[in-house]
C-alpha cells in the first residue's frame, strides 16, 4: 500500500484543523510581518491518475490577522483586500502531481495562475494533512495600496487537513 498518497475519493477540508500563515515585509521592506487567515472550507477529490485529482479551497478574507489592529483593519478595507465586497479568497486546481498543485487563485475578484509546492504530507486511513507553500505578488490581484510601505510579495504556508467525506 502506498502511504504517501491518500485513498481515492472525496475529502472535505477541515477548517478547524487547517490554517494559512503568511510572511511579508513592511516599512520600506525593513520589518517582517507575519499573520494568518482562516480557512473556511473546501473539497479534495483524489483520483487515479493523481493528475486527475481536484482541489477547491476557500479562505475568509476578513480573517486577516497580524496582531496589529490598525493594520489589520486597513488591510481588510477597500484599500487592500476589500473583504466586504470580496469575502472569499479561493483556489481551484487545474493539475495535481506529487510535488505541486497548480491552479487559479482568486483574490479581490481577480484570478491568476498559482502553484502551491507540496512541502510535506501525512496520510492516515481516512484523512490526510498536506503543507503547501507559495509566493504571491499582491499587485497581480489589484492590491496596490501603500506602494513602498508594504511589500509586494507574500510567502504563504497552508496547512490543510482533509477528512474523508
CATH of the domain at 63: 2.40.128.110
Number of domains in the chain: 1
> What is the structure's pLDDT at 147?
63
Confidence of residue 152 (pLDDT cuts 50, 70, 90): confident
**Domain range spanning residue 16?**
9-164
Question: Which pTM value belongs to this model?
Answer: 0.90
Report the C-alpha gap between 1 and 133 in whole angstroms.
27
Report the C-alpha gap between 107 and 86 in whole angstroms.
8
Question: What is the mean predicted confidence (pLDDT) over 31-54?
Answer: 94
Expressed in angstroms, the distance from the first to the final Cα of the chain is 21
Whether 106 maps to a domain, the answer reads: yes
Whether 4 maps to a domain, the answer reads: no
Q: What is the pLDDT of residues 59-91, one digit of tens each?
A: 999 999 999 999 899 989 998 899 999 999 999
Amino acid at each position: 500500500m502506498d502511504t504517501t498518497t491518500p485513498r481515492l475519493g472525496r475529502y472535505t477540508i477541515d477548517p478547524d484543523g487547517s490554517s494559512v500563515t503568511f510572511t511579508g515585509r513592511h516599512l520600506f521592506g525593513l520589518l517582517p510581518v507575519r499573520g494568518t487567515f482562516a480557512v473556511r472550507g473546501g473539497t479534495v477529490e483524489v483520483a487515479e491518475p493523481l493528475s486527475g485529482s481536484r482541489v477547491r479551497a476557500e479562505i475568509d478574507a476578513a480573517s486577516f490577522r497580524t496582531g496589529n489592529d490598525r493594520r489589520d483593519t486597513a488591510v481588510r478595507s477597500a484599500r487592500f483586500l476589500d473583504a466586504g465586497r470580496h469575502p472569499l479568497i479561493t483556489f481551484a486546481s487545474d493539475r495535481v502531481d506529487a510535488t505541486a498543485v497548480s491552479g487559479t487563485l482568486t483574490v479581490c475578484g481577480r484570478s491568476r495562475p498559482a502553484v502551491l509546492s507540496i512541502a510535506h504530507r501525512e496520510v492516515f486511513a481516512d484523512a490526510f494533512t498536506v503543507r503547501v507553500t507559495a509566493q504571491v505578488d499582491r499587485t497581480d490581484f489589484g492590491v496596490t495600496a501603500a506602494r513602498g510601505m508594504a511589500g509586494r510579495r507574500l510567502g504563504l504556508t497552508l496547512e490543510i487537513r482533509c477528512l474523508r467525506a
